[in-house]
Amino acid sequence: METSTDRRLVAWDWLYSNVSHRNNCWYDGNDRAKIQLRQWPINSVTTISISGDTIPAAEADDYYGSTGFVIYDKRGMLYYESGWSSGIQNIRVSYNAGYAAGTPEREELRELCNVLVGVVYGKKSTLGFKSETIGNYSYTKGDLKQAYEIYGYDADHIISKYRRKWGATT
């Protein structure tokens, strides 16, 4: 499901100091007030820096005129009235994003996952595999859309709600 949505769905800490998290924590500045993070919803932000200078969180709900950043959690955006200074990977963000246990979204995704696993397991002789070879073991994956159709579950519709729809590749 994470491959289909092009993002991590379960809440996770993204640390800009962790080199393996670089693609999710380092962003190009655009001289605009908003920047889109690759993972969402944003649960918390630990640290933001622009070219090494730490940016504080805004201190009030009325953030116009603030010197700090504001989180648009469900959208996965950060607002900074001063603008995210232009540069290549000059913005570094450490944050937690994804669906926490007990949220309706996570429960919906968990249910969908359980349904698909059950359908594929129950029909494993006809679903999940197109072909299989025993000597030097290999297999060819089947199309899970068959599983969706057999169950009568609109899985693709559910997954599309969580799919990345914008091209944040910076």
Does 120 share its domain with 53? no
**Residue 127: what pLDDT?**
54
For residue 58, tell me if it sits in a domain. yes
Provide the domain count of the chain. Answer: 2
Percent of the chain with pLDDT over 70: 75
Host domain of residue 25: 2-97
**Residue 146: what pLDDT?**
59
CB neighbour class for 148 (10 Å; exposed up to 12, middle 13-18, buried from 19): buried
Give 7-45 as a DSSP string: S--B-EEE-TTSGGGHHHHEEEE-SSSEEE-SS-SEEEE
Does 51 share its domain with 71? yes
165 vs 18, higher pLDDT: 18
For residue 36, tell me if it sits in a domain. yes
Does 90 share its domain with 9? yes
For residue 170, tell me if it sits in a domain. no
Rounded to 5 degrees, what are φ and ψ at 73? -60, -50
**Residue 136: what pLDDT?**
78
Does 87 share its domain with 134? no
- 105-156 confidence digits (pLDDT tens): 999 988 888 887 777 676 655 555 566 667 777 666 665 555 555 555 577 7
Residue after which a domain boundary falls, among 74, 97, 120:
97
Q: Rounded to two decimals, what is the model's pTM? A: 0.76
Q: What is the DSSP letter of 160?
A: H
Contact 155, 116 (CB under 8 A): yes
Does 63 share its domain with 19? yes
- 72-96 confidence digits (pLDDT tens): 999 899 999 999 999 999 999 999 9
What average pLDDT does the chain have?
A: 83
Q: Token digits for 129?
A: 């595999």
Q: What is the arithmetic mean of pLDDT over 47-65?
A: 85
**Residue 162: what pLDDT?**
86
